[in-house]
């Protein structure tokens, strides 16, 4: 039996490699689709359960966490003039010093945890966050399931981001105009700064405690053009009030639901 020529063998091997590569690409795409489909925002909001709503509000492309320190210094160092060991420390004194250092480090770690305040910045003008708000109320029994669509807030005329946190008292001395003047969206690609046009400090019924701060940004410039270009990949939110500075970045390529880009 005549053996196939070298060229024929090479061609067959090449075709086999091509088929294998296509199968690999197809399998990878299938895995990617399955992973993507597992995100709750890739299905109808009426199918979301409580876990889905919590994830969207706290761990999604539309919600970013940030921690800041309440104080710049913790004051854990010994005060000036505090007594020190006399003479050269011996072995026992070294052990005692090391134990105190460990104790100070432990107290320092606790102080840092105590002084850390957690905030979350949510892109509340997005379709996904508006749907999560309504769905959450349905699951809590505040809205009838048949009335979901009717209670869904309409799309806003501007971009709206809300700041919420475990201790909003850090902003108690801030005023809306000062916050507005020190708040921006910054486009990573174009380096364009989009200043806030309005800030709302949302207070509790007592008129004192702050529940949230809502920042408004324009969707279009005075010429009617979109302030966020179609090819922009990332927007950074930056706001300052006194010594408190909040900075988080939003990946626009991930802020996509069943209907497309969702801001």
Within a domain: 108:
no
Contact 150, 134 (CB under 8 A): no
Within a domain: 102:
no
Side-chain-side CA neighbours of 221 within 13 Å: the count stands at 9
Within a domain: 100:
no
Angle, alpha carbons 213-218-220 (nearest 5°): 165
Q: Which among 208, 161, 165 is positioned nearest to 180, based on CA atoms?
A: 161
- Cα 40 from Cα 51, distance rounded (Å): 9
Mean pLDDT of all residues in 145-158: 94
Percent of the chain whose pLDDT exceeds 70: 69
Mean pLDDT of all residues in 122-131: 97
Mean pLDDT of all residues in 6-27: 46
Residue 206 backbone dihedrals phi, psi, to 5 degrees: -80, -5
Mean pLDDT of all residues in 135-140: 96
pLDDT score for 131: 97
pLDDT score for 100: 52
Within a domain: 3:
no
Within a domain: 4:
no
- Cα 36 from Cα 49, distance rounded (Å): 18
**Sign of torsion over alpha carbons 174, 237, 215, 49:** negative
pLDDT score for 12: 55
Bridge partners, residue 236, by sequence: 186, 249
Within a domain: 235:
yes
- Cα 209 from Cα 162, distance rounded (Å): 16
The tokens of 45 are what?
């909001």
pLDDT score for 198: 97
pLDDT score for 102: 52
With a threshold of 0.75, does the pTM exceed it? no
Domain housing 145 = 40-69+113-261
pLDDT score for 33: 35
Compute the mean pLDDT over every residue in the chain, rounded to the nearest whole number: 78
Domain count, the chain: 1
Q: What is the pLDDT of residues 165-189, one digit of tens each?
A: 988 988 988 899 999 999 999 999 9
Within a domain: 188:
yes
């Amino acid at each position: 039996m005549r053996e196939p020529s070298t060229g024929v063998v090479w061609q067959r091997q090449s075709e086999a490699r091509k088929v294998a590569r296509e199968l690999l690409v197809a399998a990878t795409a299938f895995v990617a689709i399955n992973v993507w489909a597992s995100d709750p925002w890739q299905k109808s909001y009426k199918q979301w359960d409580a876990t889905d709503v919590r994830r969207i509000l706290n761990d999604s492309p539309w919600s970013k966490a940030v921690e800041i320190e309440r104080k710049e210094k913790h004051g854990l160092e010994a005060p000036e003039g505090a007594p020190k060991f006399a003479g050269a420390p011996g072995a026992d004194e070294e052990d005692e010093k090391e134990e105190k250092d460990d104790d100070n480090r432990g107290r320092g770690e606790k102080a840092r945890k105590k002084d850390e305040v957690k905030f979350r910045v949510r892109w509340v003008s997005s379709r996904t966050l508006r749907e999560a708000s309504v769905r959450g109320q349905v699951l809590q029994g505040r809205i009838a399931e048949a009335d979901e669509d009717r209670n869904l807030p309409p799309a806003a005329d501007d971009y709206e981001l809300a700041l919420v946190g475990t201790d909003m008292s850090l902003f108690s001395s801030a005023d809306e105009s000062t916050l507005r003047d020190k708040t921006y969206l910054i486009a990573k690609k174009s380096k364009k700064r989009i200043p806030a046009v309005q800030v709302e400090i949302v207070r509790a019924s007592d008129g004192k405690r702050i529940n949230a701060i809502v920042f408004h940004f324009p969707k279009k410039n005075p010429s009617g053009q979109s302030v966020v270009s179609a090819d922009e990949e990332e927007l950074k939110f930056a706001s300052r009030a006194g010594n408190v500075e909040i900075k988080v970045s939003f990946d626009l390529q991930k802020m996509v639901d069943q209907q497309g880009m969702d801001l």
